Amino acid sequence: MHVTIDDAQKIVAAAVKEAQQTKTQMCIAVVDSGADLKAFFRMDGAWVGSIDIAIKKAKTAVFFGMPTGAIGKLSQPGGPLFGIEHSNDGLITFPGGLPIVDNEGVLVGAIGVSGSSVENDHQVAAAGVKVVGVSDLPEHPWRT
């Protein structure tokens, strides 16, 4: 199951609204469960470099079914995922990418947000996800 275009548009709209409230200019990407781009929005004034980062944050979150900030904690020197950011044509391992999980616990996509501090990026991403589902997957024995 993939995030629908209607839900992707709702996610982007909610994220844009949150970005406006934080007075930030963001790039917002939504990918489906196959990590293919479903929706993208670049706010006026958002950095060009944030386009790629937002998309990679969304892909990273869907590839591993966890927030990009959580992957970042695991990928520090000496950590079990050290160096992972060099895989999959480049991953982003700092906050701003969140999985999108439907009410049945199914991973349907992910959001990636870039354009401000990682705290603001995460806040805007969370506001987007909140309108259609949750960002946490149910517990599974194979997840770290």
Residues 3-28, mean pLDDT to the nearest whole number:
97
- Residue 14, pLDDT > 90, answer yes
A 10 A CB-CB count for 20 gives: 13
Residues 34-63, mean pLDDT to the nearest whole number:
96
- Residue 138, pLDDT > 70, answer no
Joined together, the tokens standing for residue 5 give 């275009």
Give, for 6, the enclosing helix (H) or strand (E).
helix 5-21
The number of CA neighbours under 13 Å toward the Cβ of 135 is 26
Instruction: Give this prediction's pTM.
Output: 0.89
Split at pLDDT 50, 70, 90, the class of 105 is confident
- Residue 67, pLDDT > 80, answer yes
Mind giving me the DSSP string for 56-97? HHHHHHHHHTS-HHHHHHHTSTTSTTTTGGGSTT----SSSE
pLDDT for residue 142: 45
Read off the pLDDT of residues 20-29 as tens digits, 9 standing for 90 and up. Answer: 999 999 999 9
Q: How far is CA 85 from the centre of its chain?
A: 15
